Amino acid sequence: MPLSDVTAPLFAHLDRLGIETTTVEHHPVFTVEEAKATYDAISGVHCKNLFMKDAKGALFLVVCPHDREIVANRLHKRLGCKRLSFGNAELLRAVLGVEPGSVTPFALINDTERRVTVILDAHMMASEVANYHPLVNTATTSIRTADLRRFLDELGHEIREIDLTAPEEPA
């Protein structure tokens, strides 16, 4: 499917908000390791996105720099929720409308029921520019972090900015 078919509604929404982005198309990348090949050509913080579900069914999207170590079996303590696991592909498609490997905060545009709580890494948000897939893993979109926050605020999701570098409590 061409990039424009999938991403056109997202980019139209960003345009309506007056948010400028830059997008670079590249080969499909499914992991942080594969994405590293694109990092030299794209400036800004490169990020990973973890779609997670707690034991009670609450959904979270953890957005952080690509090299941030996240210990899934301890993160629930920091978030004040039940134990976390990764959301499966079916749930990902149903809630965020993207395929595995394309998880991104931009996909929250598809979560019209606002089921997902957004967890933003504080250090990532202190950077000027961050990079995410624009609903597909064949491109990377750069956006000012202030504009990302404005985009998410406009969507009405619960957003929590957390220092994910702080030591976590032992499990």
Give the whole-angstrom CA distance, residue 167 versus residue 171: 12
Give the whole-angstrom CA distance, residue 52 versus residue 54: 7
Amino acid letter, residue 163: D
Q: Please check whether residue 139 is in contact with residue 25, taking contact to mean a CB–CB distance below 8 angstroms.
A: yes
The number of distinct structural domains making up the chain is 1
Give the whole-angstrom CA distance, residue 40 versus residue 25: 14
Q: Is residue 12 domain-resident?
A: yes
**DSSP 3-state of 67:** coil
Given a cut of 70, whether residue 58 has pLDDT beyond it is: yes
Q: Is residue 143 domain-resident?
A: yes
The CA radius of gyration of the chain, in Å to the nearest whole number, is 15
Structure tokens at 155: 């969507």
For residue 39, what are the domain limits?
Answer: 3-162
Q: Please check whether residue 105 is in contact with residue 118, taking contact to mean a CB–CB distance below 8 angstroms.
A: yes
pTM, two decimal places: 0.92
Q: Is residue 167 domain-resident?
A: no
| Residue 168 pLDDT level (bands cut at 50, 70, 90) | low
Q: What is the mean pLDDT of the chain?
A: 92
pLDDT digits (tens, 9 = 90+) for 71-123: 888 899 999 999 999 999 999 999 999 999 999 999 999 999 999 999 999 99
Q: What pLDDT is recorded for position 167?
A: 63
Please enumerate in sequence order all residues whose Cβ is within 8 A of that of 75, keeping only pairs 6 or more positions apart, or say none: 52, 62, 84, 168
Provide the CATH number for the domain around residue 113.
Answer: 3.90.960.10
Given a cut of 80, whether residue 169 has pLDDT beyond it is: no
Residue 6: which of 131, 77, 102, 73 has the closest Cα? 102
Q: Is residue 134 domain-resident?
A: yes
Q: Is residue 57 domain-resident?
A: yes
φ and ψ at residue 40, rounded to 5 degrees? -65, -30
| Residue 30 pLDDT level (bands cut at 50, 70, 90) | confident
b/e burial code for range 111-133 (CB count within 10 A of at least 16 → b): beeebbbbbbbeebbeeebbbbb
